[in-house]
Every structure is written in structure tokens, then in C-alpha cells.
Structure 1
Amino acid sequence: MTSDPATSNWLARLKSEWLLLLFAALAVVLALLDPQPAASHRRWLQIPTLAGLLGLLVAIQGIRDSGLVQHAAGALVARVHGLRSLGLLLVGATALLAMVLTNDVSLFLIVPLTLAIGAISNLPVARMAVLEALAVNAGSTLSPIGNPQNLLLWQHSGLPFLRFALAMLPAAAVMFTLVALCTLAWLPKGRVTLAPAQVDGHVVSAPLAAGSVVALVAMVLAMDHGHAVTAALSLVLAFALLARHSLARLDWLLLATFAAIFLGLGHFAELPLVQHGLDRLALGRPLALYAAGIAASQLISNVPATVLLLDHARDNVALAVAVNVGGFGLAIGSLANLIALRLARQPQDWRLFHRVSVPFLLACAPLVYLAWRWLG
């Protein structure tokens, strides 16, 4: 009896999704060992966040399929001739957009552009994806709305927008300086070499491009005003009717992976044993809180780490600095890292990421602490 090829392909792809399988198993094991009401699981699932991710995926897939990204890539590489200059431009744009549009939106815009540039030039895409993951963590650190942990801590602290940003400035400045130096050191020194046959081969679908850009802006605004679920469902319906081919190419397993991470880590962070351990830590001391925020981020990612430590920390800014630094190091340290690697899909991307990000954390952590304590 022969198996269905479509089913075989789906199972083969699922086997490669080790992160999804790992956290799905964690969620199932914890649900069996520590049963909790359905309301807790709904809270851990973070449905508005998942809906926002879905809406962003739909809009960006439409932009990709319209040919707009490929057209922009050709226009950009025609004007920037050095690989390091191009790398710094992309890294700077990633960090700047993360300050204004949040870290995930920045990656959804810049990583597809980087892939398109790599398709028509000699830009090392795998290295750029790693650098952009570092840059988005650095850039989003400065802004109270740059990432979920900052938004939570800013609202919890009650500080004015500019005062919170100024408090984060020393940490963000050190981070971005290190990212820029890493970009200059890691990228080749040569010129951008174009593949002429690929530059002008993309036709832009104006209706799909315009509609997808509007959809992206609308999705960001809807997320900002607390209407992510309604907006995401509306986008899915609109694309199902008008651009079904884009909807079919969506990375649904990425959504499933984030759902499994939210469920597994959310449950883990609220285990009585974990909470009891936190009560025994001297988190009133700045260095202890700093170390705990970084360590927790490496284990359960920086957003759950923020939630875990929030009620035990006396200084919200200190916690914000710690968990933002904790976004470096292991890929799980920040969900933005997972998005960047997933969007890029380069050979041996996980190994390459950790070869750079772990030493980056080891260099960044003491420098940021010193800058924050002296200048903050």
C-alpha cells in the first residue's frame, strides 16, 4: 500500500520542525502533570499576539508575491556599491524600524528585502539574517513600543515615554555600536556584484502590491489599538477571496510553533516550583536582577521572562535592560530571533546564528551593565 505523496511531504516537513515538536511536547507534558483550567491555557496562548503575527504574515506574503520587494531590491543595490555599506544600511534600517514599528514588523519588512537582494547579488544572506536579528533586538531596546517586554514594563512603570527611552539609551547605544562593529568585521570588504539577468525580471502587480501595503499598515494600526484578532480574520477573508495563491503559501507551521512556545513556556513560568525558586533570589540587588533577567531569557525567552520576574523586581527599567540583553545569546532568547531565522531559511542558519550571537551576548552583557549603571 503506497502512501499519499502530499501526506508524506507534510510529515517529512513536520519532522524537520524540531522547535514545534519540542514545545508541543512540553505543553502536553505540563498539561498532564499539572492540569489547569481552560482559561489559563487561553491566557498562555496569547491569542492577540498570534492573530497579529498571522495578519503580518498575510500582508508580507502579498507584498512578496506582488514583486514589489524584488523591485525595491534592484533599485537599492543599483545605488549602493559596497557590501559593507549595504550591510550597514540594512542593519540600520532594521534597528530604526524596530524602534517605530516593533521588532517583528521590522523583520517582516527587511528580511524579505534582504533575500531579494541576495537573489540578484553576492550579498551573504545568511550572515545578514543573523546581523538583522541582532539589530532588531538592539533597535527595539530603545523604544517603549519596540518590543512586547518594553511595552509591558513601560506601562507597568508609569514612566513618561521619553523618560523610559532615555533610561534605555545607554544600553541601546552599546548594543547597536556592537552590531555595527560586527557588521563591518563579518561582511566581506568587496563591491556588490549583480546578476544582470535577475535584476529586471520581476513584474510588479500594482493591485496586489497596493492592497498588501494597505493591509500591512492597517494591521499595525489594529494591533496598536487592540483589534488584532478582528483585523487578522478580515485579512485572511480578503486574501481568500482575492489572492488565494498568497494565502496558500503562508507559513502556517510558524504560527503553530509560536502557539506551542506560548503554551509550553507560559505554563512552565507559572509552576509553583519555579515561583518558589524566584522568591529565594535577592532580586532587589541590581546585579542579581540583571543576571536573572538574562538567564531566564536564555531558558524561556525574554517576553515570558519579563512576566515571570515582573512581580519580583523593584526596578522596571533594570528588568527591561536585563531582558533586552537576554534577547541575544541562544535563539530562544528572543522570539524575534526565531522569526528572522524562519524568514531567511538559510543552510545551517541555527549554527551560524549561535556562532555569532553567543559571543555577542558575552561581550554585550558586561558592557551594557557598566554603561547602564554609570550613565542610566
Structure 2
Amino acid sequence: MIGFVVLIAMMPGYLKDLPQLVEWNTIAILVGLIILSRGLEDSGALTRAGLFLLTHMHTERKLAVAIVIFSALLSAVVTNDVALFIVVPLTLGLNRVAKIPVGKLVIFEALAVNAGSAASPIGNPQNLYLWQLSNDSFMSFLTTMLPISLWMLLVILLLAIFAFKNERVELNGCHTSAPLLLPLFYLSLLSYPIFLILVELNYVMIGVSAVLIVFLAGWRKILWSVDWQIILIFILMFIVLGLLAKLPIMAVVAQYLIDLPGHEVTAAILLSQVISNVPATLFLSEFTQDGYKLAWGANVGGFGLAIGSLANLIALRLSNQQGLGLHFHAWSIPVLLLSSLGAFFLAPWFF
């Protein structure tokens, strides 16, 4: 917020242009997805699915692999942040009735949602933004991002097999089944494809208006429980980074990064380690037209330092595990290095 005020003071001539710096279509889609994701979450269906998964894997290694796959798939549908708000509490709950390496599981859940969300246009904010800029179809974006997403997921799965023991997990209690609100589940589930079709047809405002009206009419409490602050954060992020991009020195910095070997992929990976992958995407998109390379780099850049992705910070905060940050980096940095190597090798085959 202080940075925003300083920038406005430095560049008062751009005050009237601030609304134009915001990609309102992206903000509208984010609003719709957050509401629908919250509907699925509050219905209890995802909690039950995750609970079933967590209690039917009988060895530590199988449990870890299942959690990684479940987290990755879930993040592609309900975004990486929402996926963590489901799987991390479930893991903490399982820890109360079984002896499991809960901290390590949370680390791999954070890594998994970054990998899984990379494939989907709606999996994370940077993909959503670049998808809107590209004007490509949902499937076109998905197929272009799938190779790097699968590579990252493969790296994480191989590390999970190495990291977790093949010892049996013994439960010493039972979970209480989560309540299931079927009307809310069906409403949210059916609304997803309809909303995405309207987005695909460039009827974004109609889609988000329909979602708001439906939930206002039948599930108003969902709207009250949505984290609206995150929408404000993204609006401010667009404005701050848009203003920064207008500074002459920033154009020099961006061009230097893009001119490095690997170009947009390298630039996004490096900048994500400093300012996180969403701001890095918003900033670099002002200086390149190659959105897909930027998307590959930004998603790979979610690994490495914890600041690389908001999902990492959410997972560490939800875990309530002291000193987990150090252990996180012991796994996340190797994933960054291996994912980067994969991105540099695969990129010439797809671009």
C-alpha cells in the first residue's frame, strides 16, 4: 500500500489512467471462480473426497503419492490456493489419528498444487491473466501448458517416492464424516462449465453477473465468506506494476532479463524468486508478446524460494509447523532446478 502511494506521488499525471491499468476481465473471471470454488468447498463434497483418499492409502509412500496426485488435479479445477485450503486441513486432521510425517506432506502438497495448476487456464492467477491476453481457447491453452505441468508433476512424484517410507500407516481412530450439502454441490458443479463457456465466448461480464445473482438468491452466505481482499490486492497489483512498467529504467531491466538465455522462461523464473510469480507475470507481460513462454517460466518460478508462489506461503502458514520453511526449501529448490532443466529442454519442441 505504501508503494502504491509513493508511485502515485511520483507519477501524478497517470492518476486519471489508473482504471485502464487493470485487466477487468481477469478480475471478473477471478471473482466468478472464487465464488464457485467456495461453493464447492463449503458443500463438503471435496472434503469427503479428500478424506476418503487420505484414509484408504495404507503406506506412507502410497499416501504421499495419492495426496500429490489429488492435490495436483484439484488445483487445476479450483485453483492452487483453494486446493491447499482443502488438503492441508485434511492432512492435519489425519495427523491426529495416525502417525504421519505431516510437515513433509504439507510441503509436497504445496509443490503439487503449483505443478497441477500450471496446466489449467484457471489453475492460478498468472495463467488466468495470460489466457485472457492470448485470446486462445481453453483447450489450446491447456494443451500448450500440459507438457511443462506433467514434467513438474513427474519430478515431484519421483521425489515423493524417494522422500517417504514404504511403511504402513496405522490409524488409531476414525474421522467424522463431513456434512454434505448436495444442492450447493450440484449448483457449484454445474455452474463451472456454464461459466467457462461464457468466458470462452467472451461473455465474461454476463457470466460473473449470473454467478453473483444465483448465489445472492440462494446461497448468500457463500458471498459473505469469500475473501474479497484478494480481489482488491490483485487490482492494486495491476495498478502498481502497470505504473512501474512506465518507468524507463524498468524497461531496461525487463529487456535485460528477457535477453538472457531462455528468454521469457528464464526471465519469469528469476523474477519470481524476487517478487513472486503473479507480480512477475504482470510486470513482464508489458514487455513481451510471448505469453506461453512467460507462463511456463512463471509456473516453474513458483518453486524455489517460498516467495515464488503465494501457494507456498499459504501452505506453510496453514501447517502450524515450526521451522518448516527450512525443510520446504530443501525440497523446493531441487524441484525448481529440475523443472527449469525440463522447461529449457522441452520449450524448443513446443515453441
Q: TM-score range by the shorter chain?
A: 0.7 to 0.9
Aligned-residue offset at 1:133 = 1.8
AA partner of residue 3 (structure 2):
L
Describe the shift of the 1:193–1:63 C-alpha distance in structure 2 as closer, same or farther (beyond 3 A): farther
Give the whole-Å Cα distance in 2 for the aligned partners of 1:130 and 1:233: 38
Check the 8 A contact 2:77/2:120 in 1, yes or no.
yes
1:310-325 correspondence to structure 2 within 5 Å = 310-325=285-300
Describe the shift of the 1:374–1:120 C-alpha distance in structure 2 as closer, same or farther (beyond 3 A): same
The corresponding residue for 2:201 is: none
From 43, 64, 69, the equivalent of 2:22 is 43
Describe the shift of the 1:297–1:71 C-alpha distance in structure 2 as closer, same or farther (beyond 3 A): closer
From 208, 217, 228, the equivalent of 2:189 is 217
Give the whole-Å Cα distance in 2 for the aligned partners of 1:129 and 1:365: 22
Describe the shift of the 1:166–1:256 C-alpha distance in structure 2 as closer, same or farther (beyond 3 A): closer
1:235-314 correspondence to structure 2 within 5 Å = 235=215, 256=229, 259-260=232-233, 263-264=236-237, 266-271=239-244, 272-273=246-247, 275-278=250-253, 280-281=255-256, 283=258, 287-314=262-289
User: What is the SS of the residue equivalent to 2:258?
Assistant: coil
Give the whole-Å Cα distance in 2 for the aligned partners of 1:269 and 1:295: 20
Give the whole-Å Cα distance in 2 for the aligned partners of 1:77 and 1:161: 31
AA partner of residue 118 (structure 2):
T
From 78, 84, 88, the equivalent of 2:61 is 84
Give the whole-Å Cα distance in 2 for the aligned partners of 1:347 and 1:229: 43
1:344-359 correspondence to structure 2 within 5 Å = 344-359=319-334
CA deviation profile, 1:119-175 (whole Å, cap 9, x unmatched): 332233322222122112212223344333334434444555555444334322321
Check the 8 A contact 2:251/2:287 in 1, yes or no.
no
From 91, 94, 115, the equivalent of 2:71 is 94
The corresponding residue for 1:62 is: 42
Check the 8 A contact 1:174/1:371 in 2, yes or no.
no
Aligned-residue offset at 1:352 = 3.5
AA partner of residue 88 (structure 2):
V
Give the whole-Å Cα distance in 2 for the aligned partners of 1:339 and 1:219: 27
For structure 1, the 5+ residue unaligned runs are: 1-23
Describe the shift of the 1:72–1:106 C-alpha distance in structure 2 as closer, same or farther (beyond 3 A): closer
The 10-residue stretch of structure 1 (174-183 or 259-268) with the greater mean CA deviation from structure 2: 259-268
Q: Which runs of 4+ in 1 moved over 6 A?
A: none
Check the 8 A contact 2:27/2:235 in 1, yes or no.
no
Check the 8 A contact 1:30/1:267 in 2, yes or no.
yes
User: What is the SS of the residue equivalent to 1:146?
Assistant: coil
User: What is the SS of the residue equivalent to 1:123?
Assistant: coil
Give the whole-Å Cα distance in 2 for the aligned partners of 1:97 and 1:61: 11
Give the whole-Å Cα distance in 1 for the aligned partners of 2:192 and 2:324: 28
AA partner of residue 48 (structure 1):
A
Give the whole-Å Cα distance in 2 for the aligned partners of 1:257 and 1:346: 25
Give the whole-Å Cα distance in 2 for the aligned partners of 1:318 and 1:235: 37
User: What is the SS of the residue equivalent to 2:158?
Assistant: helix
Check the 8 A contact 1:26/1:264 in 2, yes or no.
no
AA partner of residue 324 (structure 1):
N
The corresponding residue for 1:12 is: none
Q: Say yes or no: does 1:176 pair with 2:149.
A: no
Describe the shift of the 1:103–1:222 C-alpha distance in structure 2 as closer, same or farther (beyond 3 A): farther
Describe the shift of the 1:261–1:101 C-alpha distance in structure 2 as closer, same or farther (beyond 3 A): closer
From 104, 108, 112, the equivalent of 1:135 is 112
Check the 8 A contact 1:142/1:169 in 2, yes or no.
yes
User: What is the SS of the residue equivalent to 2:22?
Assistant: helix
Give the whole-Å Cα distance in 2 for the aligned partners of 1:286 and 1:269: 26
AA partner of residue 356 (structure 1):
W
The 10-residue stretch of structure 1 (159-168 or 307-316) with the greater mean CA deviation from structure 2: 159-168
AA partner of residue 329 (structure 1):
G
With the length of structure 1 as denominator, give the TM-score of the two structures.
Answer: 0.72
Give the whole-Å Cα distance in 1 for the aligned partners of 2:311 and 2:303: 10
Give the whole-Å Cα distance in 2 for the aligned partners of 1:262 and 1:345: 30
**Aligned Cα root-mean-square deviation (Å):** 3.9
Give the whole-Å Cα distance in 2 for the aligned partners of 1:90 and 1:343: 16
CA deviation profile, 1:79-101 (whole Å, cap 9, x unmatched): 32011111111111222233344
Check the 8 A contact 2:22/2:235 in 1, yes or no.
no
Describe the shift of the 1:50–1:167 C-alpha distance in structure 2 as closer, same or farther (beyond 3 A): closer
The corresponding residue for 1:15 is: none
Give the whole-Å Cα distance in 2 for the aligned partners of 1:299 and 1:359: 18
